[in-house]
Structure 1
């Protein structure tokens, strides 16, 4: 079977990258290739990759890409080299040893579908994200983990969108809808936008509960902004390219994906949540 080509954008956080790559080395199925897009790291990441991970292909950039353009650079490179099955992954995750094995197993049953991974807290080893289902009419997101009995937390479960960490994507999806929208969504929401677009194009989206990733829930850029609340961080939350409440990106995402009759309500509700949510939480 064609290998999975894994694309990982990185900028510093060398130890996270090391832990991620070590977890991939420990996979029960090693039919994969890794391409790292090193976007100008200054903490020794490049030197570590060159000396310790010679099996990893490294594309170097100048620090101007952010997440979406970094992923697209790696995807274009992999597909030019003949990749037909791709996976986007962040460097701040640790792959369960059966991740690749169980992605292949379900891909064989649903070869045209996009598959996400079940996310586990790296510290508690408990599931923290198992997919979401967005109802545009009610402006509500249902978290699959909250409604799924524990005994059913295995196999595939349908969702409306997926995050880009540990996301298995057949090449046919890119051929139908193109790459991620790096111009309008350079960092956050590009993965959700891409997967919404794929679903509208007729592709199925599932979270694969048998394929697990361990994540660091308290170490995202948005968590750091919220951890030390200040006017400066409030501004970053709403307007910075890495701000989780970025109003520009939320507006672009909504106008592109929300059914037209629901746009005003969705925008108003989203603005309130972002403007006041930082203060309340």
Structure 2
């Protein structure tokens, strides 16, 4: 059984499209658990009427991604059928997938277990553009990188060269997790990583516990890039960039990045300062390029 856990908040149209493509999966032994964290746009009513088999758990708007995902995992654990092999698939609602998506994840799991299986991400509006294909994490000076660079951010190039990529971390956007992993390392750390980096931190703990982190090239998530949170890669203003250091919705939140540095880096504070310096330098370089353009 695959329990698909999807946190949602006020994105009814995206949620509808995501649920629609999941209901056409060729692999049928799954349940969908949507954690609706205080939506006010009628998301829950839409699900009740259009997708009556979906489990809906209602939050008050203060769960954010990590704890909303934990709610879904706890539900799956409480309703576990121990006579079969069980998994959680974490997925975001601003995505769509092919109808063989679940089957490709499970096929990859059988080939590489013990492991977590992550998905390749591509731009929904430009499916040849590779958004994610794994990471290399350097835990001394924060000089890691995205492995999509190795394939010039081209999905056709990736699939022509690799069936899978071994990664140092996996995002919550399409990761298949065997239930046994939660028994060994616990749930997502929603105290120190409220929204961003909870998935990265969890997968790193799983890797330290001996699980391979595999990105399966055939398991594609089509990502609505414009619907994601604050992204430093975009042309943000200086004010937006600074506000990102304290915003829960920002991947550059300093508290979150400090917590990660202290918990997982080899050099603690030094890693944190290198990390923040890299973020600031990247912002300045993008501004300089825009000025020259």
Asked if TM exceeds 0.5, the reply is yes
Which stretches in structure 2 are left out of the alignment for 5+ residues? 152-156, 287-293
- Is 1:107 aligned to 2:105, yes or no? no
- Is 1:68 aligned to 2:66, yes or no? yes
2:144 corresponds in structure 1 to 141
Contact kept, 8 Å, 1:38 with 1:61, in 2: the verdict is yes
1:176 corresponds in structure 2 to 184
Q: Determine which of 240, 246, 251 is the counterpart of 1:239.
A: 246
TM-score (norm 1): 0.92
2:169 corresponds in structure 1 to 161
Q: Alpha carbon RMSD of aligned pairs, Å? A: 2.0
Contact kept, 8 Å, 2:139 with 2:264, in 1: the verdict is no
Contact kept, 8 Å, 2:47 with 2:54, in 1: the verdict is yes
CA–CA separation in structure 1 for the residues paired with 2:195 and 2:253: 10
Alignment of 1:109-128 (within 5 A): 109-126=111-128, 127-128=130-131
How many residue pairs were aligned? 276
CA–CA separation in structure 2 for the residues paired with 1:199 and 1:11: 30
Q: Determine which of 14, 17, 28 is the counterpart of 2:15.
A: 17
2:291 corresponds in structure 1 to none
Instruction: Please state how far the C-alpha of 1:279 moved relative to its aligned partner.
Output: 4.9
- Is 1:185 aligned to 2:185, yes or no? no
C-alpha distance 30-227 of structure 1, shift in aligned 2 (>3 A): farther
CA–CA separation in structure 1 for the residues paired with 2:233 and 2:214: 31
Alignment of 1:23-42 (within 5 A): 23-42=21-40
TM-score (norm 2): 0.88
C-alpha distance 167-38 of structure 1, shift in aligned 2 (>3 A): same
C-alpha distance 151-205 of structure 1, shift in aligned 2 (>3 A): closer
